[in-house]
Amino acid sequence: LTFPLLSVTLLVSFGSSMLYGYNLAVVNSPAEHIKAFYNTTWSQRYGHGLAPGPLTLLYALTVSIFALGGLVGSLLVGVLVEHYGRNGALSRSALLVLLAGGFMGFSRELGSPEMVIIGRSITGLHSGGFFCICLSVVPLYLGEIAPKNLRGFLGLVPSIFICLGVFSAQVLGLPELLGKDRFWPLFLSVVVVPASLQLLLLHCFPESPRYLLIERNDVRGATKALRRFLGTPDVQDVIEEMREEQRSLSSMEMVSVGQLLRDRSVRWQTLSVVVVNAGMQLSGIDAIWFYTNAIFENAGIPMSQIPYTTMGTGAIEVVAGLIGCFTIERVGRRPLVITGFCAMGVCSAGITISLLLQAALPWMRYVSVACVVGIIAGFCMGPAGVPFLMTAELFMQSHRPAAYIVGGSLNWLCNFTIGFIFPFLQMSAGAFCYLVFCGVCLLVALYVYLVIPETKNKTFMEISHIFA
């Protein structure tokens, strides 16, 4: 693991993946302050406040518009990656975050709830794929620059930074820090810090060697980039592997989404991307991240203890992410994904049981907390990062951008759906709403067990042959 390889992994993970995690959790602790701002602004404009129903709807839109922006951004991944390259797309992305931070940071001063919603949608655009960011190009870039024996390790580093982003939002949201009413615009706009660092430093690192050779036919540039990333002048074996893939693709053009969906030779890879990406979001993890405080409040945790309980769950998810990162090359991709989804399914059922019994057994509130921790830990150990790594590994270069568009679009569509409907699902179904997530998790685990092969230490050509 060379210094340039480690440095660029940490930089893109900090400047992109961490922002995704931060934006998932940042709306949790200031929820009441943001609702109060919306209510006050509405009253000033129209002479009366918002009823509880419309206020919940407006706040749910604020939460879920992040995913809608991500959905729009993910549709542009293929074109932008092909035009700018992996490094180029990432280095340009920070401008969007600076714009979003400005909208959210000045929203209260200008008395504009619309600016909060616009800022959230722009951060979603950044995270989802416009200028190809967190859930698209980061794992794609790292998967292409890493040697195959480190591809799994480096591919999960972004998931650790997603967890660190969530944890950072939980820490900064404490009442002693930025959790006060007057600080929530600053709390939302902290995202400009890592984005600025990425904007300043990423141009110091080379483009993906695989992109340079296969898509730009720049053998000299690819060789130079490989020598820098791998720290050795002898990169001929890697060049030959990429040339073999290039020769196999010489008669093919980059496929569109429509061509990918119609291509029978990759139908199982495509179905696998659909199932795993949709299942990742429909597992209920976004409901946990977006509404942690509300879930703990319903479980009977005292209000004064909720911010610290939430922060504790964040610390545990960072540890779980580290466990997944340092074990993936030892145990493989499939065991982490299957174990993670099974743990999430069992814990989702546990939340339902604990909520139903907490009136008779007060200590069941702590079982609810333990189940929330179990869902987050199970997610961070495998399902948080492995699906994006798998998308890069299951497809050849010609199909990879289109596969990321399909996976990213489903990911964000399901993210938006859960973020928007969960408050209403919780009101209508009560404790039983978590059984939906339980069923999804167990079905996805079963599919991975039956269909998806292990890809550890295999070249992209070998993986393609396994499916064939």
Nearest to 97 by CA among 179, 198, 185, 28: 198
pLDDT exceeds 60 at position 448 = yes
Residues 196 and 317 in one domain: no
Q: Is 436 a member of any domain?
A: yes
Most confident among 164-168, 319-323, 422-426 (mean pLDDT) = 164-168
Containing structural domain, residue 11: 1-205
Clarify whether residues 29 and 100 are in a common domain: yes
Q: Is residue 217 domain-resident? A: no
Query: What CATH code is carried by the domain that includes residue 71?
Result: 1.20.1250.20
Indicate whether 228 belongs to any domain: no
Contact assessment for residue 445 and residue 341, using Cβ atoms and an 8 Å cutoff? yes
Whether 210 is covered by a domain: the verdict is no
Is the Cβ–Cβ distance between 325 and 156 less than 8 Å? yes
Residues in the chain: 468
Residue-wise pLDDT tens digits, 263-315: 888 888 888 888 988 888 888 787 776 667 777 777 677 778 878 887 887 78
* CA proximity to 324, closest of 130, 107, 100, 158: 158
Q: And the tokens for 157?
A: 């580093």
Asked if residue 213 belongs to a domain, the reply is: no
Instruction: Report the chain's mean pLDDT, rounded to a whole number.
Output: 80
Q: Tell the residue number behind the tokens 């430093």, with chain if given.
A: 201
Compute the distance between CA of residue 141 and CA of residue 207 in angstroms, rounded to an integer.
9
Residue 248 within any structural domain of the chain = no
Give how far Cα 151 sits from Cα of 207, 321, 399, Å. Answer: 17, 16, 19
How many domains in the chain? 2
pTM: 0.73
* pLDDT tens by residue, 154-169: 767 777 888 888 888 8
Answer whether residue 227 is part of any domain. no
At 340-372, the pLDDT tens digits run 899 999 998 988 888 888 777 878 878 888 888
- In angstroms, the CA 214 to CA 371 distance is 46
71 and 188 both lie in a single domain = yes
- 266 lies in the same domain as 189: no
Instruction: Indicate if 459 and 337 belong to the same structural domain.
Output: yes
Give the per-residue pLDDT at 442: 93
Q: What is the pLDDT of residue 366?
A: 81
- For the segment 94-112, the average pLDDT, to the nearest whole number, is 88
* Count of C-beta atoms within a 10 Å radius of residue 360: 7
Return the pLDDT at 445.
92
Question: Within 13 Å, how many C-alpha atoms sit on residue 193's CB side?
Answer: 10
